[in-house]
């Protein structure tokens, strides 16, 4: 115990009164898209380990335990509760403002929400506490209910350049209790958890894939929710720690969903520890609550018998202590889980990264929890040491610091995969979903902006993703598919093969097939025809090399063949021989509802920048002794001299293409003020992302692809038309409007949406071009829409002026780290 209150919450958190709802949160644009409502909080758990979420009303409601799958459901039995007494009175609350919607746990008393029960005469001024979040930490500060000052800090061990603890399936809940009164206070803190072992796997081992109304392929997911037969709970302890392991009667062979949970705490000489290993989480709850609400104790019941069919099990541990006036106690609780297998298609199993450190038998939840109880203080210090230099910067506003860290939530809850290490992949393979609605991994066009966070904070994971794309480019898959886009416009769909050899795949596959091996899952468009993916690949490879020290030439060598193949493939779309591949008139790029015709500003600029990057890469590799790098430099093999000569020929070819195409770009697209959408449609639309290629060229220290004065003119036009004149700058920059801010087609979809990640990329370009104030105004408008309107921790791809959103939990929004990179 100490006589000092030590809770220090950074000033730049996202915060909200506990339990306070939203008057008019954003709602989903299309009924088929996921809309869980605004009650989302910061996720807890390591990368690829599965994660859980706890909202600002205190309920545990997000369950991403099965890799790539989404369950949003309040489980009331998973909860913290607090008992408090002094010499005259006592009270006990379960610390969620959301009581069960069924008949369960009616015997419990639930925490009052801010602005609700007990409301003061000044409307909405009564506050029962505040929730704060700054990923990977969040806090509940309880106010006006308990006499003691209570704070619960939550975190998982995630910090930059950490390739071990960041993978752990664990959450720390660090409680700080302080008595500021002049009389003793007795407190008891209880953690209850339902045994959910076996629930998180698809009961449909070969789910049927269908095309839904927005043209996206989907499959049915039926978790084994509530199937608890054979589950049991048992006490575990040593001299310093006490816990309860929630497990299941073992099968012969471990499968997805098999494993264990553990709730645990530290023993302390001033603390009493209580437990109950078998209570009914779907009953009235009196078997637990009666004793807890009376004096903060539990009956210390031990029953490890497995659950019968239809039976549910809960476990509970509690600590009770008395604080004298002025005293403070800080004590941790830990939640750990161990579900070591991620299954894609039936029988396609991967062990998770954390199994490299704890084993893969599914019985390590106690070992993980025990490690957390020993190391949580070090972990918290590591997080603080990583964040503090950014938090201390006076040139960054608090709202920007808040969003910069909180947008990293997607690395935890974006269906993230991180496999165990192998000889080929020494730190495993990594992947994040494009989003929950478009459930396929690492969409390359999206990560052109969205991968900056991974690159800057976990560069080895970033390079592992790009190596997976490099391996996939030479592969082919002749599976015929219907293209969903044509169904949405009620036209007959062409039949397209899934993957053409040499084409850059759009994505690394989906959770129901074989991620990393079976690519190009999306069938909304024929991505073999896209004109941006090949350029995106080349630019990201060179970017990852340059911004990670410019010394990993083996990475460049691993990717070179794929670079050569995809540029050659992309050049086949240059039908008129002018040096630049043309867009076909179909939506054949990341704006995949937007038809571009002929040479386009977006794809053409990326092509020019990619050629420059490929030339720079070839110069680096040509200056090396290629014999030392081995066969990956050239799939055709040959002697080092032959490989060197082949690369020199390729470099010369790219120089020829670049010389030919550079003047064509300006000649066909520059209109004296900005770059036209494309060369053939006649549109006067100002495209917000028209100079993405120029942004990348400057970022990578390559020659400008357009004159700098024209780039600045175009950028100012974008800022004026797409941002200031679009709804008076309230929402951010629309993707494409006419110079006066009006829509070319009022019924258009993508042009009139504000894409969060594109806006952040545009802001990074503004910073790069000396327009930092404009960049912050643009970014702040988007951040305000997200974090003031119930979109926190589920940032969508797109918002509209009508207060709707599309595609929540979107990868591209991590592009906010590109703004920080441009500033830094």
What band does 252 get if pLDDT is binned at 50, 70 and 90?
confident
pLDDT at 151 over 90: yes
* DSSP symbols for 670-732: B-SSSB-SBSSS----EETTTTHHHHHHHHTTPPPSS-HHHHHHHHHHHIIIIIITSGGGSS-
Angle at 243 between CA 6 and CA 273, to 5 degrees: 65
Q: What is the pLDDT of residue 633?
A: 45
Q: What is the pLDDT of residue 119?
A: 45
Give yes or no for a contact between 723 and 778, defined as CB atoms under 8 angstroms apart. yes
Residue 462 three-state SS:
helix
Within 10 Å of residue 241's Cβ, how many Cβ atoms? 19
Tell me the mean pLDDT in the region 3-25.
Answer: 90
Which residue has 């078998």 as its token pair? Answer: 278
Residue 50 structure tokens: 């599965």
The continuous run of DSSP H or E covering 562 comes out as helix 553-571
Tell me the mean pLDDT in the region 529-540.
Answer: 98
Q: Per-residue pLDDT tens for 206-239?
A: 888 999 888 899 999 999 999 999 999 999 999 9
Tell me the mean pLDDT in the region 351-375.
Answer: 98
Q: Per-residue pLDDT tens for 621-659?
A: 999 865 555 544 444 568 888 889 999 999 999 999 999
The continuous run of DSSP H or E covering 761 comes out as helix 756-768
Q: What is the pLDDT of residue 251?
A: 74
Residue 274 DSSP label? E
Classify burial at 494, counting beta carbons within 10 Å of its beta carbon; exposed 0-12, middle 13-18, buried 19 or more: exposed
Task: Kindly report the backbone phi and psi dihedral angles of residue 724, in degrees, each rounded to the nearest multiple of 5, phi listed first.
Answer: -65, -40
Cα–chain-centroid distance for residue 336? 20
Residue 136, preceding peptide bond in cis (omega within 30° of 0): yes
**List of residues 6+ apart from 187 with CB closer than 8 A:** 82, 83, 84, 148, 150, 177, 296, 320, 321, 322, 323
pLDDT at 2 over 90: no
Q: Per-residue pLDDT tens for 565-612?
A: 999 999 999 999 999 999 998 899 999 999 999 999 999 999 999 999
Q: Per-residue pLDDT tens for 27-61?
A: 999 999 999 999 999 999 999 999 999 999 999 99
**List of residues 6+ apart from 374 with CB closer than 8 A:** none
Residue 175 structure tokens: 């409680």
> For residues 193 and 365, what is the distance between their CA atoms, to the nearest angstrom?
14
Q: Per-residue pLDDT tens for 379-396?
A: 999 999 999 999 999 999
* DSSP symbols for 496-521: EEEE-TTSPPS-S--TTS-TTTS---
Taking 3-state DSSP, the helix, strand and coil percentages for the chain, each rounded to the nearest 5, stand at: 30, 20, 45
What band does 122 get if pLDDT is binned at 50, 70 and 90?
very low
Q: Choose the weakest-confidence range: 2-6, 61-65, 90-94, 376-380.
A: 2-6
Give percent of the chain above pLDDT 70: 97
Q: What is the pLDDT of residue 120?
A: 43
Q: What is the pLDDT of residue 123?
A: 43
> For residues 457 and 454, what is the distance between their CA atoms, to the nearest angstrom?
5
Helix H, strand E, coil C: the string for 110-173 is: ECCCCCCCCCCCCCCCCCCEEEEEECCEEEEEECCCCCCEEEEEEECCCCCCCCCHHHCCEEEE
Burial 562-583 (b: 16+ CB within 10 A, else e): bbbbbbebbbebbeeebbbbbb
Residue 542 three-state SS:
helix
pLDDT at 121 over 90: no
> For residues 440 and 270, what is the distance between their CA atoms, to the nearest angstrom?
51
Classify burial at 206, counting beta carbons within 10 Å of its beta carbon; exposed 0-12, middle 13-18, buried 19 or more: exposed
Residue 528 DSSP label? G
Q: What is the pLDDT of residue 631?
A: 43
Checking DSSP bridges between strand 495-499 and strand 217-219, what pairing results, if any?
unpaired
* DSSP symbols for 353-411: TTHHHH-SSS--HHHHHHHHHHHHHHHHHHHHHHHHHHHT-TTS-HHHHHHHHHGGGHH
Q: What is the pLDDT of residue 629?
A: 53
> For residues 315 and 264, what is the distance between their CA atoms, to the nearest angstrom?
11
Residue 569 three-state SS:
helix
Between residues 135 and 126, the one the model is more confident about: 135
- The per-residue pLDDT of the chain, averaged, comes to 95
**List of residues 6+ apart from 500 with CB closer than 8 A:** 476, 528, 569
> For residues 43 and 414, what is the distance between their CA atoms, to the nearest angstrom?
10
Angle at 42 between CA 41 and CA 46, to 5 degrees: 145
> For residues 537 and 466, what is the distance between their CA atoms, to the nearest angstrom?
8
Give percent of the chain above pLDDT 90: 92
> For residues 315 and 299, what is the distance between their CA atoms, to the nearest angstrom?
12
Q: Per-residue pLDDT tens for 687-737?
A: 999 999 999 999 999 999 999 999 999 999 999 999 999 999 999 999 999
Within 10 Å of residue 460's Cβ, how many Cβ atoms? 16
Beta bridge partners of 191: 80, 317
Q: What is the pLDDT of residue 250?
A: 83
Q: Per-residue pLDDT tens for 410-449?
A: 999 999 999 999 999 999 999 999 999 999 999 999 999 9
**List of residues 6+ apart from 377 with CB closer than 8 A:** none
Q: Which candidate, 17, 154, 183, places its Cα nearest to that of 89?
A: 183
Q: Max alpha carbon distance in the chain (Å)?
A: 90
> For residues 313 and 198, what is the distance between their CA atoms, to the nearest angstrom?
13
Q: Per-residue pLDDT tens for 309-348?
A: 999 999 999 999 999 999 999 999 999 999 999 999 999 9
Q: What is the pLDDT of residue 117?
A: 45
Tell me the mean pLDDT in the region 516-543.
Answer: 97
Q: Per-residue pLDDT tens for 161-175?
A: 999 999 999 999 999
Residue 455 structure tokens: 């690159």
**Rg, C-alpha atoms of the chain:** 28
What band does 183 get if pLDDT is binned at 50, 70 and 90?
very high
What band does 532 get if pLDDT is binned at 50, 70 and 90?
very high
What band does 205 get if pLDDT is binned at 50, 70 and 90?
confident
Q: What is the pLDDT of residue 87?
A: 83
What band does 25 get if pLDDT is binned at 50, 70 and 90?
very high
Q: Which candidate, 787, 756, 593, places its Cα nearest to that of 688?
A: 756
């Amino acid at each position: 115990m100490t006589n000092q209150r030590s809770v220090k919450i950074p000033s730049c958190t996202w915060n909200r009164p506990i339990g306070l709802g939203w008057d008019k949160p954003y709602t989903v644009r299309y009924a088929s898209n996921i809309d869980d409502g605004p009650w989302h909080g910061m996720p807890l758990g390591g990368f690829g380990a599965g994660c859980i979420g706890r909202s600002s009303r205190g309920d545990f409601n997000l369950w991403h335990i099965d890799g790539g799958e989404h369950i949003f459901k309040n489980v009331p039995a998973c909860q913290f509760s607090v008992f408090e007494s002094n010499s005259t009175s006592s009270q006990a609350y379960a610390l969620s403002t959301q009581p069960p919607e069924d008949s369960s746990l009616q015997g419990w008393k639930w925490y009052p929400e801010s602005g609700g029960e007990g409301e003061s005469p000044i409307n909405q001024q009564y506050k029962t506490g505040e929730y704060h979040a700054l990923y990977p930490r969040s806090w509940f500060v309880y106010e006006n209910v308990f006499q003691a000052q209570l704070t619960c800090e939550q975190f998982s061990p995630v910090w930059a350049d950490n390739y071990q603890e960041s993978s752990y399936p664990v959450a720390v809940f660090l409680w700080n209790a302080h008595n500021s009164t002049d009389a003793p206070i007795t407190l008891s803190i209880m953690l209850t958890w339902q045994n959910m072992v076996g629930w998180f796997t698809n009961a449909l081992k070969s789910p049927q894939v269908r095309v839904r109304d927005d043209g996206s392929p989907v499959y049915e997911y039926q978790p084994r929710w509530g199937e608890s037969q054979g589950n049991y709970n048992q006490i575990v302890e040593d001299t310093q720690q006490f816990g309860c392991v929630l497990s299941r009667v073992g099968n012969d062979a471990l499968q997805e969903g098999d494993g264990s949970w553990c709730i645990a705490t530290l023993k302390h000489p001033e603390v009493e520890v209580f437990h109950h290993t078998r209570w009914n989480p779907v009953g009235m709850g009196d078997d637990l609550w009666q004793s807890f609400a009376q004096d903060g104790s539990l009956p210390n019941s031990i029953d490890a018998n497995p659950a019968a069919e239809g039976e549910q099990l809960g476990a509970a541990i509690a600590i009770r202590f008395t604080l004298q006036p002025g005293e403070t106690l800080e004590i941790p609780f830990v939640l750990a889980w161990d579900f070591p297998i991620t299954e894609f298609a039936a029988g396609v199993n991967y062990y998770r990264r954390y199994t490299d450190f704890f084993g893969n038998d599914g019985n390590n939840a106690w070992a993980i929890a025990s490690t957390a109880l020993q190391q949580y203080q070090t972990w918290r210090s590591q997080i603080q040491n990583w964040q503090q230099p950014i938090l201390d910067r006076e040139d960054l506003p608090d709202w920007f610091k808040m969003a910069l860290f909180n947008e990293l939530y997607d690395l935890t809850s974006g269906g993230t995969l991180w496999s165990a290490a192998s000889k080929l992949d020494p730190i495993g393979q990594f992947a994040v979903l494009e989003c929950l609605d478009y459930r396929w991994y690492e969409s390359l066009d999206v990560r052109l902006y969205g991968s900056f966070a991974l690159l800057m904070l976990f560069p080895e994971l970033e390079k592992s993703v790009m190596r997976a794309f490099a391996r996939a480019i030479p592969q082919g898959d002749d599976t015929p598919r219907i293209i969903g886009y044509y169904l949405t416009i009620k036209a007959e769909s062409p039949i397209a093969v899934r993957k053409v050899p040499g084409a850059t795949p759009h994505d690394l596959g989906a959770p129901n097939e074989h991620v990393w091996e079976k690519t190009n899952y999306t069938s909304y468009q024929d991505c073999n025809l896209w004109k941006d993916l090949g350029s995106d690949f080349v630019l990201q490879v060179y970017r990852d090399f340059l911004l990670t020290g410019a010394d990993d030439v083996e990475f460049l060598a691993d990717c070179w063949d794929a670079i050569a193949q995809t540029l050659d493939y992309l050049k086949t779309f240059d039908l008129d021989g002018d040096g630049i591949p043309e867009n076909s008139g179909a939506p054949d790029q990341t704006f995949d509802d937007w038809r571009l015709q002929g040479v386009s500003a977006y794809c053409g600029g990326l092509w020019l920048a990619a050629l420059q990057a490929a030339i720079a890469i070839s110069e680096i590799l040509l200056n090396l002794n290629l014999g030392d790098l081995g066969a990956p430099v050239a799939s055709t093999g040959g002697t080092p001299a032959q490989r060197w000569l082949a690369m020199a020929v390729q470099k010369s070819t790219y120089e020829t293409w670049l010389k030919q195409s550079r003047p064509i770009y300006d000649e066909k697209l520059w209109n004296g003020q900005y770059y036209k959408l494309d060369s053939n449609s006649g549109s006067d639309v100002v495209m917000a992302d028209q100079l993405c290629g120029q942004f990348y060229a400057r970022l990578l220290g390559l020659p400008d692809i357009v004159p700098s004065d024209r780039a600045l003119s175009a950028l100012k036009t974008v800022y004026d038309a797409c941002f200031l004149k679009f709804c008076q700058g309230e929402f951010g920059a629309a993707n494409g409007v006419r110079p006066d801010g009006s829509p070319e087609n009022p019924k258009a979809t993508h042009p009139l949406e504000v894409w969060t990640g594109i806006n952040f990329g545009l802001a990074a370009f503004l910073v790069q071009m000396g327009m930092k104030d404009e960049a912050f105004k643009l970014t702040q408008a988007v951040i305000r829409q997200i974090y003031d309107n119930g979109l926190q921790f589920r940032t969508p791809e797109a918002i509209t002026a009508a207060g709707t959103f599309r595609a929540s939990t979107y990868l591209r929004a991590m592009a906010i780290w590109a703004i920080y990179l441009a500033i830094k």
